């Protein structure tokens, strides 16, 4: 009996499926092994001497990340439209004995991003660790949100990632060495009322990281890592100070900064803070939508930021619209330093 012409194709498909299952099983076992290792034995890469760029480094989470990176020996580059905040962060880093460079940059302006990126490369060197941290929030019902604020949210929270990555990724690929960190949000996994534009931008940021990761691996670029960070609402960043959250407390910014640095050192792919949210995607698949909606509305009856302090990043519009925040920033840092001295917690 003659063999069917489709038999060789069927055999190749079966072999491919078998190879995939074996490789997948090995990778699962490897991941479980790494997860079970005590923290003292887990791999942590050395970032001393690396050039680490933090967008939105003029305050909030960006400032806390800068201080921790400096303590680990990295050269810190700070971008923000708030140049006074950048200068203060640079001063704090240098006060720790670290190296820091600050640049004024409007992340909503593609040309400005490319201009400052070129200046950074000329004055500091090639960026090895890129942390896309800057973010803004409007916090209104969709139909009450002005069009320019929706555009601003996307420009800063995700579109700017395209420009920063395109500016620095070529050198990372050339050297097969680098790390791109996307500070997203749990709002990139669930929808929340009054945060339609914010959630959409964070969903896009999560997708950006995943697609970029797959694209790099498909090209055989294994030395450039990507990490996406998805925290719950964070205190003291100037975005969600008074968010109404039931059952789950908002996060302390110092704890989030510590976890992000750990994720960078361990080259983790996806980090949810708190970690219990890691299984949220599975629940969304198996639970009826009515249950998911009830859960979201129960824990977050109102996620709108009632009072915004110093935003992580500001958008330059006119000279008169720029707020003067030097007094509030100085006061906030004074309180931060006092708290750290009182608790003895390292930055």
> Which residues are identified as catalytic?
198
Q: What separation in angstroms does the CA of 166 have from each of 127, 130, 180?
A: 12, 11, 11
* Nearest-angstrom CA–CA distance, 229 and 255: 13
Q: Are 213 and 254 in contact (CB under 8 A)?
A: no
Class of residue 333 by CB neighbours under 10 A (exposed 0-12, middle 13-18, buried 19+): middle
For residues 71 and 52, is the Cβ–Cβ distance under 8 A?
no
306, exposed or middle or buried, with CB in 10 Å at 0-12, 13-18, 19+?
A: exposed
Residue 71 to residue 98: CA distance in whole angstroms? 7
Task: Write out the DSSP string of 56-68.
Answer: TTTSHHHHHHHHH
Are the C-beta atoms of 329 and 88 separated by less than 8 Å?
yes
Query: Running DSSP on this structure, what letter comes out for residue 73?
Result: T
Question: Which residue is it, tokens 């800057």?
Answer: 134
| Upstream peptide bond of 274 is cis (omega within 30 degrees of 0) | yes
How does DSSP assign 203-218, residue by residue?
HHHHHHHHHHHHHHHH
């Amino acid at each position: 009996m003659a063999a069917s012409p489709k038999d060789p194709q069927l055999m190749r498909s079966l072999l491919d499926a078998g190879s995939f299952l074996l490789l997948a099983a090995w990778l699962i076992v490897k991941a479980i092994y790494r997860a079970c290792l005590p923290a003292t034995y887990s791999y942590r890469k050395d970032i001393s001497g690396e050039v680490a760029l933090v967008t939105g480094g003029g305050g909030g989470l960006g400032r806390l990340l800068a201080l921790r990176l400096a303590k680990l020996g990295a050269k810190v580059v700070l971008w923000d439209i708030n140049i006074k905040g950048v200068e203060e962060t640079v001063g704090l880093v240098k006060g720790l004995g670290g190296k820091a460079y600050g640049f004024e940059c409007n992340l909503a302006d593609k040309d400005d991003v490319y201009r400052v990126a070129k200046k950074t490369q000329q004055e500091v060197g090639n960026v090895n660790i890129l942390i896309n941290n800057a973010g803004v929030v409007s916090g209104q019902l969709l139909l009450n949100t002005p069009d320019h604020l929706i555009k601003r949210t996307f420009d800063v929270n995700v579109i700017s990632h395209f420009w920063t990555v395109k500016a620095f990724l070529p050198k990372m690929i050339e050297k097969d060495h680098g790390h791109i960190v996307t500070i997203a949000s749990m709002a990139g996994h669930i929808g929340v009322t009054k945060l339609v534009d914010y959630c959409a931008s964070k969903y896009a940021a999560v997708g950006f990281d995943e697609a970029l990761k797959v694209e790099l691996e498909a090209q055989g670029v294994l030395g450039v890592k990507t990490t996406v960070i998805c925290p719950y609402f964070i205190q003291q960043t100037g975005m969600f100070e008074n968010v109404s959250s039931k059952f789950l407390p908002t996060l302390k910014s110092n704890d989030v900064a510590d976890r992000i640095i750990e994720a960078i050192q361990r080259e983790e792919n996806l980090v949810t803070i708190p970690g219990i949210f890691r299984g949220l995607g599975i629940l969304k698949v198996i639970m009826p939508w009515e249950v998911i909606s009830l859960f979201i509305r129960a824990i977050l009856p109102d996620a709108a930021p009632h009072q915004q302090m110093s935003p992580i990043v500001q958008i330059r519009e006119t000279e008169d619209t720029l707020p003067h925040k030097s007094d509030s920033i100085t006061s906030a840092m004074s309180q931060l330093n006092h708290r750290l001295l009182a608790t003895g917690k390292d930055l």
